[in-house]
Amino acid sequence: MRTGIEATAELVRRTAGAELRPGLVVSLATAGDLLQWHPHLHLLTTDGSFASGDRLLPLPEWDAALLTSLFRERLLARLLDRHAISHELVRKLLAWRHPSFSAHVGEPISPQDKHHLEDTVAYLVRNPLSLKKLVYLDDHRAVLYRSRMNPSLRRNFEALDPLEWLARMSDHIPDPGQHRTILYGHYANRVRGLRRGERGWTQETSAEPPRRRCSPSWARLIAKVYQVDPLVCTRCGQRVTAIAFLSDEISIRRILDHLGLSTPLQDRPPPAREVLRVAEQGEGWGVPWE
């Protein structure tokens, strides 16, 4: 991820001709269309860079060939430093007619086009697979996954043994503590905090922080990212409407009992017992022993 960030920042500096800072949202993806191992980066960047005073300086153009070259140079240098590849392999890769890397620069998105922005962000953080494309063939004990035509594999499906499919899915589980999406440059948390300080933004430490109102589009965003609509009834398939939110335990228990969804008595855990400790001689507390 750092390699893609550094290459994009260097492209902005060379094009703008100054030490400017773009705003970047970078997401790491490891899966291809058929869940094969295909690591790549998705970058959502400002169409320019920021100077002092939050003034945006637009870039005249985004050179995809230059971005590919910068990314290749930094990635090969990083692999050499970690002794992951040899100098001979680097010379062979640089001698190829095809750069063995590619960069696609999409069309700019207007800040007013909220729907397009939401679709792009959902694409950045989408799951590696879709359950709608997954079929389990019980008779053949195989997993069939369909997607669009893969130009390198020359097919639009993948049929695997269930254990092989689970092994392939496990390849895309990130390591503990690893972040797949990070903010960089003008969007970084530290930089945004410094901008608040420069604007004289203060907040009393003892005052209670203001409560943010929940977005009314939370259900739509969940359905767009996880492809599951929480406001659709699983029985009839109709839309449900949130009437009220209950937090009272007695009211919730009455509703569950009425619907037959409460936990049976034999399955409930035993009640917690309060242990009362009585002072004894020699413990040094309580009433002195006579």
pLDDT averaged per 10 residues, the chain (length 290): 88 78 90 90 88 78 90 91 91 84 89 89 86 87 89 88 91 88 87 74 54 69 80 85 81 87 70 54 46
pLDDT at res. 289? 45
pLDDT at res. 286? 45
DSSP 206: S
H helix runs in 41-156, sequence order: 64-81, 87-95, 114-124
pLDDT at res. 288? 44
Query: C-alpha distances in angstroms, 209 versus 63, 206, 213, 214, 249?
Result: 44, 9, 13, 15, 27
